[in-house]
Amino acid sequence: MKLLRHGPAGAEKPALLDGSGKVRDLSGIIPDIAGLVLGDAELDKLRALDPASLPVIEPERIGPCVGGTGKFICVGLNYADHAKETGKAPPEEPILFMKATSAICGPNDAVEIPRGSKKTDWEVELGVIIGKRAKYVSEADALSHVAGYCVINDVSERAFQSERGGQWTKGKSHDTFGPTGPWLVTRDEVADPQNLRLWLEVDGVRRQDGSTATMIFGVAHLVSYISQFMTLEPGDIIATGTPPGVGMGIKPDPVFLKAGQVITLGIDGLGTQSQTTVAAGD
């Protein structure tokens, strides 16, 4: 099942994508794709619906595929080749940092280049959306706490991230630095989250082309690991790391984003995103 949210930013309504690619309105069935709606029982009720019984809509804007996110947790250097291109050793344990939830935006919304930025970069990532509260869960049980998966662009300002006091969060949290969606694809439709191809292009040039098979720490391990340090709640998002090909890793001269460019990215089975970069507003 592919779930989505549409409408103006901050006032999105729930919908689903049917098997023929039509968007069907869910606003008469559920209030939002958030909170308890992400649990197995509620998702089963949605699966039982006949999509043909729901009104067809033509959204003007697709919003982030999950609402009410309390935590946006990111995993750093989770692909060995990406660690190598940044000049760092692969981590022995997952590196965790937070991205402000105010960075979350729709999959095709414009991405802002922050004021004073010289090193805004791209990162295609597999997103994991929590559906059931997870505290001290085992790796064997971890995936049962996942509602589904999505595409994330973990946009990053490298100078803010690494050259201004060492706090990654401030290089990751500018408004629009978290395009999420287009769909939340429920976990039953993803046979193996460790066998997904992911890719990213800038102005039509392929920059990233990888597979979740090369993650250092897989999804089940990450959910279990993170739950040892904080309780994961429905709607929380985990961005699981990026494969090689980011702008800072291009040799001999790194390449970074500027206003007026187009970023296109996707993950097999999870959809695609397309963002135009713009100068940051007020």
Q: Looking at the structure, do residues 150 and 113 belong to the same domain, yes or no?
A: yes
Mean pLDDT of the chain: 96
| Together in a domain, 163 and 187 | yes
Dump pLDDT digits (tens) for 4-36: 999 999 999 999 999 999 999 999 999 999 999
- Are 188 and 233 in a shared domain? yes
Specify whether 166 is located in the same domain as 224: yes
- Label residue 278 by pLDDT band (50, 70, 90): very high
- Please indicate, yes or no, whether residues 267 and 179 belong to a single structural domain of this protein: yes
Task: Kindly report the number of other CB atoms within 10 A of residue 101's CB atom.
Answer: 17
Domain containing residue 31? 2-57
Same-domain pairing of 48 and 179: no
Q: Does residue 62 lie in a domain region?
A: no
* pLDDT band at 59; cut points 50, 70, 90: very high
Are residues 12 and 85 both part of a single domain?
Answer: no
Residues 113 and 220 grouped into a single domain: yes
- Kindly state whether residues 98 and 197 are assigned to the same domain: yes
Residue 64 belongs to some domain of the structure: no
Of 172, 165, 256, 174, which Cα lies nearest the Cα of 207? 256
On the question of pLDDT at 88 being above 80, the answer is no
- Reported as a single tens digit per residue, the pLDDT across 39-48 is 999 999 999 9
Instruction: Single out the residue of 266, 31, 276, 5 nearest to residue 127, CA to CA.
Output: 266
* pLDDT per position as a tens digit, 158-201: 999 988 886 789 999 999 999 999 999 999 999 999 999 999 99
Same-domain pairing of 23 and 134: no
Please report the pLDDT score of residue 80 as a whole number.
83
- Sorted by sequence, the CB contacts under 8 Å of residue 98 that are 6+ apart come out as 71, 72, 73, 74, 169
Report the number of distinct structural domains present in the chain.
2
- pLDDT range class, residue 60, cuts 50, 70, 90: very high
Do 196 and 248 lie in one domain? The reply is: yes
Residue at 67 is within a domain:
no
Task: Specify the pLDDT at position 222.
Answer: 98
| pLDDT for res 221 | 98
pLDDT digits 0-9 by tens, 91-124: 999 999 999 999 999 999 999 999 999 999 999 9
CATH number assigned to the domain comprising residue 85: 3.90.850.10
How far, in Å, CA of 92 to CA of 230, rounded? 20
In this structure, are 115 and 18 located in the same domain? no
* Residue 18 placed within a domain: yes
Q: pLDDT tens, 199-235?
A: 999 999 999 999 999 999 999 999 999 999 999 999 9
Position 202 in a domain: yes
Q: Do the domain assignments include residue 8?
A: yes
130-166 pLDDT, tens digit per residue, is 999 999 999 999 999 999 999 999 999 999 998 888 6
- Does 210 reside within a domain? yes
Residue after which a domain boundary falls, among 57, 81, 103: 57
